[in-house]
Each structure stands twice: as C-alpha cells, then as structure tokens.
Amino acid sequence: MLELVAAFICLTSLLTYVNFRFIGLPPTIGVMVTALMFSLLLQGLSFIGYPGLEERVQELIGQIDFGDLLMNWMLSFLLFAGALHVNFSDVRSYRWPIGLLATVGVLIATTVIGSLAYWIFGLFGWHISFLYCLLFGALISPTDPIAVLGVLRTANASKPLKTTIVGESLFNDGTAVVVFTVLLGIVQLGETPSLSATAMLFAHEAIGGVVFGGLIGYLVYRMIKSIEQYQIEVMLTLALVIGGSAMASELHVSAPIAMVVAGLIIGNLGRNKAMNEMTRRYMDGFWELLDDMLNALLFALIGMELLLLPFSWLHLLAASVLAVAILLSRLLTVAPAIVLLRRWRTVPRGTIRILTWGGLRGGVSVALALALPLGPERDLILSITYIVVLSSILFQGLTIGKLVKHVTKDAPVEAEQAH
C-alpha cells in the first residue's frame, strides 16, 4: 500500500508540473488531461513493442478500490474543505435555490435521466432493467464544481452564481449518495421495500448525517475555543474528518452530509469565535493544500481509469446521446427553481444557462458506478459514466468561463442586486 501511494503521489505531482509548465489548463482539468494523454501513450507503447508496460500499470491501478477510496475518505476531506470556506450567511441568503437544486433537483434528475437512459439503452440493443437505469440516474445526478470554481473566479462570476453552485454541490453530493444507497439496497435485496421503509432509510441517512455532523462539529468547535495552540487546533479538524467519516459509516448515516455540516460549523462559528489570526492562517493554508492535493490525485485517477475500462464506438455514441439527455435534465431541474426564485428577488441574467452548463459531472459519479455489483450492467454503466464525466469536464469545464463572461459582461450591476 505504501508503494502504491508513493507511486500515485509522484505521478500526480509530475502531471501537475507538466500541466502548469507546458499546458496551462485549469489545474484539475489539466491534471486529468495529462493523465489521459499518459494513458494513451502507454497504450501506444504497448502496441508498438512494449507489451508488458500497459499490463503492469493496469495491475497497479487495479489494486486501488477507487469507489471505497473516494466515497469513504476523499469525498469527506473534499466536502469538509469546501464547506470550511463557505460563508453560512451567504448560503442562507440563497437557501431556496440551493435547497431545491440539492434535494428535489436530484430526485427529478434521477427520474428523468433514468427514464431517458432506459429508452436510449433499448435503442442500442442493451436490455438494462429500469432499476439499474435509475441507479445510473442517481450516480450521474450530482454536480462536481471542483473543476469549474477556479474558472468562475477568473471569469468574475457574480456572488449569487458562485454561492449557488458551491452550496448546491456541497449538499447534492450527499443527497445523491443517499438516493443511490437506497436504490442499491433495493437491487441487493431483490425486492422493493415499502414506501415507508424507503422513506425511513432515506431520513436515517440524510437527517442522521445532518444531526451527527452538527454534533461532532460543535464538539470540536468547543474544544478549539478552549485552547490557543494552532497545531493542536488544526490536528483536531483533521481528526474530525477522519474519525467522523469512520463513525458515520458505523452509524449508517451519510458521511458526506455530516462533513458538510461540520465544515460549515468550523468555518463559521470556529473561525469567527474560536480562532486567532495565526490559527486562521494555518487552518486555511493546511486545508487549501490538502484540498488541492486530493483534487489533483482524484482527477489523475480519473484520467488513468481509461486503461481499465472496455470501450467501443457504440459506447461512445450512446454516451454522447446520454450527455445531451443529462444536460436536458439539468435544464429541467434548474429552470423551475430559478423561475420560482424570481418571484421574490432579482436573479442575474443568464443564471439558468450558466447553472445548466456549469453542472459538471466528476469523480463522485465514477466512484458510485464502481460501487455497483459486478456484472454486465456494471461494465456498461461504468464505461458510459466515464465517457460522460470525461466529456463533461473537457467540454463544459473548458467553456464555462467564456459563457460566464459572455452572459455577465453587460449586466454587472444587475448581478449584484441579487445579493
């Protein structure tokens, strides 16, 4: 395990350097692109006379339980780090669009995408049950703003847009994981539980995650407030994420939702009432560095996954059709929430377009696909998911900045009124 960690940290660092020095793409997108190029290079070398090289790297990557690594550990760190820098008063100001998109939006997207996937898979001659199509809808529903937030900052996106995208992503990851877990439980049981049992399971995961995150977040906040030693305070937040994730798994509550709530408490109550200036500086520096490292590692792993997955032109064509269907479902979930919001407050021009195009899919979707039971359905859904995620990050991630600049260039004053 130590050799595996060493190999991937060294590789990720090299890919990050190559992107920064020679390519110049946004960091996370650039790392994924360079990893993708590295995968293609290995395939090319094995084709022209180095047959053992690709197999050796495949063996190395195959030792990583990518689903477990991301869902049980990396996602908790990433969501806590993201929530740590979110102003709770901003989230509260935009609670309605964030809440609608992160809850009702995920449920609508799961149903719409699942239904469209069932029809599209049938067109290509793949007989996948409707339940598996709903699982695909659930795993592809969560948006991943990691690759787009830096672009939005450089494009001078308005505060309402950035707050809505960050807030939605922090909570819809957790909601989608809970929906996926419920559906996966139905598949593994082989029978459909009653509506009340499903609702209880959903409530236990989601509400339990909120309550558990609030409890451990407040406990660590009180501990931080009682001392003035930045090394110990930073260490307490690290223990909060690692220990809290492990305990959430044992209690069968949502670790992602718990880490978001705990991160909001430490980032707001802790930052304002329990930390001095030195502690804030070290806390921010530590979690920003950890966030950047994990993001780079995550997107390098996504790029390298190409070596493990079976692809055909039929997969590529089906994924392209599904990518359009997913964008359509994103529009169907975003538009009603924003139209409803316009009844009570001013909304920046172009918000629907930006939120629709900015709904990138990422590592969470790949990890959930890897968590599916072994079988032909898993192989198909995993390949389709990977292509959709790849195209989403490359096409939407590299063009969202231009769209923001185009949409907001004529309305800077209007954008600020929404706050």
Taking the chain (419 residues) in runs of 10, the rounded mean pLDDT of each run is: 78 89 83 83 72 68 72 82 83 80 88 94 92 94 69 66 78 84 82 74 86 96 94 96 94 90 93 92 91 80 73 88 92 83 73 85 83 86 90 85 76 41
Q: Where are the alpha helices (DSSP H) in 342-373?
A: 351-357, 363-370
Alpha-carbon distance of 147 to 129, in angstroms, equals 32
Backbone phi and psi for residue 82, each to the nearest 5 degrees, phi listed first: -65, -45
The yes or no reply on domain 66-408 and CATH 1.10.357.10 is: no
Q: Where in the chain is the domain with CATH 1.20.1530.20?
A: 66-408
CA torsion angle 101 105 107 109 (round to 10): -130
How would you label 234-272 residue by residue, b for 16+ Cβ within 10 Å and e otherwise? bebbeebbeebbeebeeeebbbbbbbbbbbbbbbbbbbe
Alpha-carbon distance of 386 to 370, in angstroms, equals 10
- DSSP single-letter state for residue 86: S
pLDDT of residue 319: 93
pLDDT of residue 327: 92
- DSSP single-letter state for residue 141: -
Task: Give Cα separations from 185 to 38, 128, 193, 201 (angstroms).
Answer: 37, 18, 9, 10
The amino acid occupying position 117 is: A
Question: In the structure encoding, which two tokens stand for residue 216, read together?
Answer: 């451990």
The amino acid occupying position 329 is: S
